[in-house]
Structure 1
Amino acid sequence: MKLKKTRILFTISNFNTAGSGKVVYDLAKGLDPNVFEVEIACGSREGAFFKVVETLGLPIHIFETKTSYRPYQTLLFRIWKISKFYKKHNFDVIHSWQWSSDWTEALAARLVGVKWVYTKKAMGFNNRHWHIKSYLAHFIITINEEMRGYFPNKKAQALIPLGIDTNYYKTDAVPKRSEVNSKKFNIITVANLVPVKGIQVLIEALHKLKDQNVTLAILGDCDTDYGRAMIELSSHLGMQEQIRFYGKQLDVRPYLSAADLYVIPTLDEGRREGMPMALVEAMSMGIPVLGSDITGINYVLKDFKNLLYSAGDIDELVLKIKGFQAMDREERLALGKELRLYCNTNFAMHSFITAHENLYKSLLKNE
């Protein structure tokens, strides 16, 4: 007799601004198709990466699986519409990759007896809605060690670090960009250009270096207030020749492969970092890295304390960059190889997928 497959629905706000979009793509692609049937629900078709997700050939529903709380008098009616969507498609597990504290998605699943899981992606947890969401969840997945402390009374939780496809993110997978000057010391950062990312700290550190042989490539949507402010800052400091803004890139690998150093300068404020995949991507590409000593970044680099600096400290960042400049090429290559091996050991895609498969099975085994 043919066994019934487990039907999984991944929910995500979109594949444009959602930083975990590639992770969801890899997980959906990697789950055993003999055991699981995967579908995706998101709020829009925006972004170039949505077209990549479509190539998986999985059903994608442009459907909002959460709703606003107000007006309260119609809240249950609107939640029930989501419940009916779950029921209509006969999902066994809803796995939410939504970043917000919204709990309507979870309640909709509870109302029709569907298991609801969420991955805690960001560090915010300071309002009652997060507590409601976490109470309603059948299981919570955390992605760094500090997050586990948010749920002291929740037994149904586990730390599952995000996984990376190290066969995709490797130096020899793509050619280096020909326009990059190999005689320069090339720094790169990849970020959603918002103030908490601390790009101004990195720009000011480069200015303080006073070294024309250092360049900086900034990848991320610069058509934002903060992005435009950073372009203006670079111009004001007379660094247009040293700093280039490349906008949002679907494939960051050619830019990473040409870099001598990757820097993630996030500030210790606001949402901070859950587990910054742009940092892990650089490590997997064998690029030396440097990051601010904050939650998420220091989890990824917990065995490389020397690659951390105090968040927002421009002078310390300058000294750290000078230290990398002083290394010879062989030293940097050796560090890059060590970082790539670390990714293979600690953030392997196989382990990430297996952990999720085992979780989905355990949620349903007693039914």
Structure 2
Amino acid sequence: MNDKHIRILYTIPNFNTAGSGKSVYDLVSGLDRSIFEPEICCFHNKGAFFKEVEALGVKIHIFPFTSAYKPRLGFLSRVFKIRNFFKTHQFDVIHSWHWSSDISEPLAAKLAGIPYVYTKKAMGWESRYWKWRSQLSSKVIVVNEDMMSFYFSKMLHKAVQFPLAIDVNRYQPTLGSDVMREQLGLSVNDFVIISVANLVEVKGIETLLDAVNQLDNPKIKVLVVGGDSSDYAVMLKSKYKAYSHIKFIGKQLDVRPYLALSDLFVIPTKDEGRREGIPNAPLEAMAMNRIVLGSNISGIRDILKVFPDCMFQADDISDLKDKIKTIMNLSEDKRLALETQMRRRVVDEFSIEDFIERHQSLYQELVKSNLSS
């Protein structure tokens, strides 16, 4: 280890979307540089968010830090190439933000003798490789309570729970732009509902759109922000193209101007497949004083558990419809109070300062343990 700095390598496949990328960005920009020296490794330099990360001025490696398992005959030799990369650069800790159950990366780190930690961001444990990945890791960072009880009850020594976080100075209460409002065809008297998500089927966007259509209220407008080129997104745009009150905005690097125009944020994720860990989007909305409604599922429940009336049964159009009506009918005083409470929840429980401090302490603990072993 360098006498002065602890060298942390963050591995992430790409910066095509800003979900995990934002967390890596926050960690790299927030680490105490008198103690830590962060670097990043990814598969390629594409993606809208890559330029933002590049501007941080840290070293970025473009290198395949995982390997396919087949052909099996050459698997170990391919792992040793990754191991040699890790060893050559003398990293002190490797922190993976890869979404998959890959075991080649933690195996390479183990062969290199470097402490390895990965962040388990999404629900899902079907593959046996998740257990193997966890056993090969020095620590696993889990982001919600259900992960601890569902997946790590028999290996609690491996797991630590750190909720994801956002920068509440970046996401602050803001008035919407009148120019943008006009461009989107919105009136100041409209009730604007927004959902921000990577448009894949598990996000359950049609639950929201069907609930709004059943309300049949001309004041309600819906903004759907997120990548709109997937098969699911194409299906949604085709299915709802006749409804002028539903607007598909596409992927936006900065969602704050759209959140500022909204009255309500809805995250209608289904209770199936690769569900939420701790989604960033509702936290960003809450930090901007926006009321959030969400499915009563893992991850979202961690955020909204102190607001039980703001959760609805996943896939339940009628339940969501009733929740939207309730929010629309709140008095101005109750609405303002709920908005304030939601921002306070994010400031108190999901602050970026605590997020960075917890990671710094873990890295120091891993390095100390590795030196003494």
Q: Cα 1:35–1:175, aligned 2, differ >3 Å: closer, same or farther?
A: farther
Paired position in structure 2 for 1:215: 221
Paired position in structure 2 for 1:17: 17
Distance 1:187 1:261 in 2: 5
| Residue identity opposite 1:285 in structure 2 | M
Q: Are 1:341 and 2:344 counterparts?
A: yes
Distance 1:293 1:151 in 2: 22
2:330 maps to which of 308, 327, 330:
327
Shift, 1:48, TM fit: 1.3
Shift, 1:175, TM fit: 4.8
Distance 2:280 2:294 in 1: 13
Shift, 1:156, TM fit: 2.8
Aligned residues: 363
Q: Are 1:126 and 2:126 counterparts?
A: yes
2:158 maps to which of 156, 159, 173:
156
Paired position in structure 2 for 1:195: 201
Distance 1:272 1:27 in 2: 24
Deviations 1:3-57 (A, max 9, x none): 4210000001111136211111001100000000000011122221110001100
| Residue identity opposite 2:214 in structure 1 | K
Distance 1:200 1:162 in 2: 27
The farther-off stretch of 140-149 and 169-178 is 169-178
Q: Are 1:272 and 2:262 counterparts?
A: no
The DSSP-based 3-state class of the residue aligned with 1:251 is coil
Kindly report the root-mean-square deviation, in angstroms, between the aligned alpha carbons of the 2 structures.
1.4
Paired position in structure 1 for 2:5: 5
Q: Are 1:229 and 2:201 counterparts?
A: no
Instruction: Map 1:308-319 to 2 at 5 A.
Output: 308-319=311-322
Paired position in structure 2 for 1:65: 65
Distance 1:172 1:211 in 2: 26
| Residue identity opposite 2:288 in structure 1 | M
The farther-off stretch of 316-325 and 147-156 is 147-156
Deviations 1:295-323 (A, max 9, x none): 11111111111100000000111111111
1:181 maps to which of 180, 187, 191:
187
| Residue identity opposite 1:151 in structure 2 | F
| Residue identity opposite 2:224 in structure 1 | I
The DSSP-based 3-state class of the residue aligned with 1:171 is coil
| Residue identity opposite 2:341 in structure 1 | E
| Residue identity opposite 1:268 in structure 2 | D
The farther-off stretch of 190-199 and 172-181 is 172-181
Conserved in 2, the CA contact under 8 Å of 1:12 and 1:18? no
Q: Are 1:80 and 2:83 counterparts?
A: no
Deviations 1:202-249 (A, max 9, x none): 1111110111110000001111111111111112xx31x201111000
Conserved in 2, the CA contact under 8 Å of 1:174 and 1:253? no
The DSSP-based 3-state class of the residue aligned with 1:20 is helix
Deviations 1:65-112 (A, max 9, x none): 111000000001111111111111110000000000001000000001
The DSSP-based 3-state class of the residue aligned with 1:48 is coil
Runs of 4+ in 1 over 4 A off after TM superposition: 173-176
Shift, 1:163, TM fit: 1.4
